[in-house]
Chains A and B, each alone.
Chain A
Amino acid sequence: MADTHAAQAAASGTTTTGTPTSAMSGSDTHFGAGYAVSAGSTAHGAHARAHQFDTPQQQYAASNLGMWIFLATEVMTFGGFFLAYIVYRALYPETFALASPHQSATWGTINTFALILSSLTMALAVHAAQTGNRRRLTMFLGFTIALACVFLVVKSIEYTTHIEENLWIGSQNFHMERPAGEIVDPEAARVDLDSTVQQGRAKIFFFLYWTMTGLHGFHVLIGIVLLSALLINNLRKVYSENYYTPVEMTGLYWHFVDLVWIFLFPLLYLLGGAHWHI
Chain B
Amino acid sequence: MAHITDPIQRDHEEHHVIPPRNYVIVFGLLVVLTILTVLAANFQFGGLLNEVVALGIATMKASLVILFFMHVRYSTPLLRLVVAAGFIFFGIMVLFTMADFVSRDWRSTPPRQIVAPVEQAPPPVTEPTLGPQPTQAVGQDEVRPRGTVNPGR
Give A186 to B13 CA distance when docked, in angstroms: 53
Determine the chain B residues whose CB is within 8 A of the CB of A258 once the complex forms.
Answer: 65, 69
User: Number of residues in A with C-beta < 8 Å to the partner?
Assistant: 71
Check: B50 CB closer than 8 A to any chain A CB. Answer: yes
State the main secondary structure of chain B at its contact with A. helix
B4 to chain A, nearest CB (A): 8
CB-contact partner of B102 in A90, A116, A248, under 8 A: A90
Contact with A along B45-73 (1 / 0, CB 8 A): 00000110011011001100110111000
Complex contact B27–A120 (CB within 8 A): yes
* A residues less than 8 Å from B18 (CB atoms): 127
Report B147 CB to chain A, min CB distance, Å: 7
User: B3: CB under 8 A from chain A?
Assistant: yes
**Closest-CB distance, B38 to chain A (whole angstroms):** 5
Q: Is residue A165 contacting chain B, with contact meaning CB distance below 8 A?
A: no
Find chain A residues with CB under 8 A from B82 CB: 65, 68-69, 72
Residue from B54, B89, B150 in contact with A267 in the complex, judged by beta carbons closer than 8 Å: B54
Closest B residue, CB atoms, query A38: B1
Also in contact, A124 and B20, with CB within 8 A (given A87-B101, A112-B34, A197-B142): yes
Residues of A whose CB lies within 8 Å of any CB of B are 20, 24, 38, 54-55, 57-58, 60-61, 64-65, 68-69, 71-76, 79, 82-83, 86-87, 90-91, 93-94, 105, 109, 112-113, 116-117, 119-120, 122-124, 127, 130-131, 182, 184-187, 190-192, 195-198, 200, 248, 251-252, 255-256, 258-259, 262-263, 265-267, 270-271, 273-274
